[in-house]
């Protein structure tokens, strides 16, 4: 089964549905019916077949799906623990994807800086072993090939210029006055990954749930399905919530805003920008710029360490992927992608065949937050309504091309339903 996004929806069009509640109050939501759940495509496939499929599940966020899937397969694989070099290589791939995705948003803000970041992201992806649009880097228990040292040195040489561009973009974003009024403060939970030290980490190994900056709970990947419940299981808009808080109080959001709201970043330049962001608008556009700066700061140290690890004679050859052996069980893999947390949960039988799969995308998780933003927008009766509707979609950033449409060019249809 193959799904082409352009066969389902117009790339720059979207539908907002407005309907009254029992008290006659109007509520809006973004229609996700054009984005079917893709979980079922993996059922009945072997783990290695699923690996190949996750490389192509999404044309917009392919690296996030690749890495979330492989992290689930790692836990179902009987191979040895992931080596430091393999971990860093995967992290470089993830960082490159995040910079690439966010760089496209910066072209309208400062074209030269956006182009600089787009170029550095390509070098990051090439160095990590995925030069094409779809990733091929990770395999169960490791990576397909070790990075080329010359590619890493080329990347290393150009990182200082990229950092300068990222700093400039942060400054521009933090100084831009919003064209429309700021939305009311989000009342729900921010959900993002952290590392073993408790720092926000888009490739971390634990999940933190925080409200208004205060931690409510932290948990391991293995607890994902106990901590997160879908109100409408299997639906395009599943309305997930934190189980311990219930469906009314447990709503949450993911993405760059959440990533900056669960703790202070462990990087000098980005954390200074984050402090300013926390005291100001806390908007998504500035958050993307800060996360990009953070990722590039971390890449400087990452590349240096990888070059040392890859010195001649330091590492054995990567094992062939065909040797991977899978056990019966259930595992969840998570990454914090450009749009936020992506969760792949697989159940495998004794033959390593996937008998059940659940994929929870950032778009699906942020749908309730987007609905709240859209509801605020439709309450406007003046000429700013269309602009605020578009701003709502850019803020929550569903995984659709229209999220990147130029201002005033989103083809939004607003349909009002009656009781």
Return the bridge partners of 28, or none.
18
pLDDT recorded at residue 80: 64
- Give yes or no for a contact between 206 and 219, defined as CB atoms under 8 angstroms apart: yes
Residue 115 CB burial class (10 angstroms; 0-12, 13-18, ≥19)? middle
pLDDT recorded at residue 193: 98
Both tokens assigned to 387: 């602009």
The whole-model pTM stands at 0.93
pLDDT recorded at residue 362: 95
| Phi/psi at 332 (5° precision) | -120, 135
pLDDT digits (tens, 9 = 90+) for 69-94: 999 999 998 766 889 999 999 999 99
DSSP 43-105: TT-BHHHHHHHHTSS-SSSHHHHHHHHHHHHHHTB-SPPPPHHHHHHHHHHHHHHHHHHHHHH
Beta strand extents in 296-363 (DSSP E only): 329-337, 340-348, 354-360
Low-confidence ranges of the chain (pLDDT < 50): 1-10, 179-181
d(CA 363, CA 35): 10
| Phi/psi at 220 (5° precision) | -80, 165
- Residues 187, 333, 291, 264: is their CA dihedral positive or negative? positive
């Amino acid at each position: 089964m193959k799904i082409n996004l352009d066969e389902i929806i117009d790339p720059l069009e979207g539908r907002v549905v407005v309907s009254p509640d029992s008290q006659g109050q109007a509520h809006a939501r973004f229609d996700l019916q054009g984005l079917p759940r893709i979980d079922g495509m993996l059922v009945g496939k072997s783990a290695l077949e699923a690996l190949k499929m996750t490389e192509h599940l999404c044309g917009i966020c392919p690296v996030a799906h690749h890495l979330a899937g492989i992290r689930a397969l790692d836990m179902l694989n009987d191979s040895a623990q992931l080596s430091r070099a393999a971990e860093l290589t995967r992290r470089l791939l993830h960082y490159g994807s995040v910079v690439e995705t966010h760089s496209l948003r910066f072209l309208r803000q400062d074209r030269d800086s956006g182009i600089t970041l787009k170029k550095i992201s390509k070098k990051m992806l090439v160095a990590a072993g995925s030069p094409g649009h779809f990733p091929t880097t990770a395999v169960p228990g490791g990576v397909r090939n070790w990075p080329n040292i010359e590619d890493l040195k080329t990347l290393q040489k150009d990182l200082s210029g990229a950092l300068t561009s990222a700093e400039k973009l942060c400054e521009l974003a933090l100084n831009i006055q919003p064209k429309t009024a700021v939305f009311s403060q989000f009342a729900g939970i921010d959900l993002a990954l952290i590392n073993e030290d408790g720092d926000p980490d888009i490739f971390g190994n634990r999940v933190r749930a925080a409200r208004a900056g205060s931690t409510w709970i932290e948990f391991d990947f293995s607890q994902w399905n106990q901590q997160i419940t879908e109100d409408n299981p299997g639906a395009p808009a599943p309305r997930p919530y934190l189980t311990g808080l219930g469906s009314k109080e447990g709503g949450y959001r993911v993405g760059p805003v959440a990533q900056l709201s669960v703790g202070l970043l462990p990087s000098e330049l980005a954390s200074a920008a984050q402090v300013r962001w926390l005291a100001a608008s806390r908007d998504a556009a500035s958050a993307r710029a800060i996360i990009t700066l953070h990722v590039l700061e971390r890449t400087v140290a990452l590349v240096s360490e990888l070059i040392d690890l890859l010195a001649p004679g330091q590492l054995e050859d990567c094992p062939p992927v065909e040797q991977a052996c899978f056990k019966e069980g259930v595992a969840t893999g998570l990454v914090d992608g450009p749009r936020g947390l992506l969760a792949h949960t697989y159940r495998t039988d004794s033959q390593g065949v996937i008998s059940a799969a659940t994929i929870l995308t950032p778009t699906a998780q942020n749908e309730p937050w987007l609905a709240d933003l859209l509801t605020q927008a439709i309450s406007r009766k003046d000429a700013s309504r269309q602009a605020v509707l578009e701003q709502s979609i850019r803020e929550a950033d569903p995984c659709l091309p229209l999220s990147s449409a130029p201002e005033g060019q989103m083809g939004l249809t607003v349909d009002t339903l009656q009781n």
